[in-house]
Amino acid sequence: MKITVVCDVYGHDSNGVSVAATNLINYLKEKGHEVRLLCADEKLKGQENCFIVPKRNFYCFNGYVAKNGVSLAKPVKKTLEKAIDGVDIVHIMLPFKLGRAAARYAHKKGIAVSAGFHFLAENFSVHIKMDHLYPLNYMCYSLYHKTYKLCDCIHFVSQFCRDLYERRYGKTNGYVISNGVSESFKSNGNEVYPDGIINILYTGRYSREKSHEVLFKAVRRSKYADKIQLICAGEGPLKEKFIKETADFKIPPIFNFYSREEIVEINRNAYLSVHAAEIEAEGIGCLEAISCGTVPIISNSKKSATKYYALLDESLFKCNDSKDLAKKIDWWIEHPKERNEYSKRYAESALVSFDREACMKKMEEMLIKTVEEHNKK
Strands 34-39 and 272-275: unpaired
Q: At what angle do helices 322-333 and 212-221 cross, to 10 degrees?
A: 60
Residues of the chain with pLDDT under 70: 14, 57-71, 123-134
Q: Which amino acid is at 29?
A: K
CA 90 – CA 308 distance, rounded (Å) = 31
| Residue 367 sits in the same domain as residue 254 | no
Helix (H, G, I), strand (E, B) or coil at 62: helix
Q: How remote is the C-alpha of 281 from its chain's centroid?
A: 7
| Residue 74 sits in the same domain as residue 6 | yes
Q: What is the CATH number of the domain that holds 238?
A: 3.40.50.2000
Q: Please tell me the pTM assigned to this model.
A: 0.89
| Residue 23 sits in the same domain as residue 143 | yes
| Residue 229 sits in the same domain as residue 296 | yes
- Residue 191 is assigned to a structural domain of this protein: no
In DSSP terms, which residues pair with 230 in a beta bridge?
200
- Residue 192 is assigned to a structural domain of this protein: no
| Residue 147 sits in the same domain as residue 230 | no
CA 288 – CA 228 distance, rounded (Å) = 21
C-alpha dihedral (14, 18, 19, 24), degrees to nearest 10: 180
Q: What pLDDT score does 136 carry? A: 73
Q: What pLDDT score does 131 carry? A: 56
In DSSP terms, which residues pair with 113 in a beta bridge?
90
- Residue 185 is assigned to a structural domain of this protein: no
> Helices marked H in 116-178 — which ranges?
121-125, 134-148, 159-169
- Residue 22 is assigned to a structural domain of this protein: yes
- Residue 238 is assigned to a structural domain of this protein: yes
Q: What pLDDT score does 72 carry? A: 76
Total number of domains in the chain: 2
Residues 123, 126, 128, CA angle at the centre, nearest 5°?
125
| Residue 168 sits in the same domain as residue 254 | no
Q: Which domain holds residue 54?
A: 2-180+355-376
| Residue 128 sits in the same domain as residue 224 | no
- Residue 332 is assigned to a structural domain of this protein: yes
Q: Which amino acid is at 109?
A: K
| Residue 136 sits in the same domain as residue 175 | yes
| Residue 213 sits in the same domain as residue 101 | no
| Residue 315 sits in the same domain as residue 367 | no
Q: What pLDDT score does 132 carry? A: 65
| Residue 135 sits in the same domain as residue 259 | no
- Residue 190 is assigned to a structural domain of this protein: no
| Residue 286 sits in the same domain as residue 140 | no
- Residue 187 is assigned to a structural domain of this protein: no
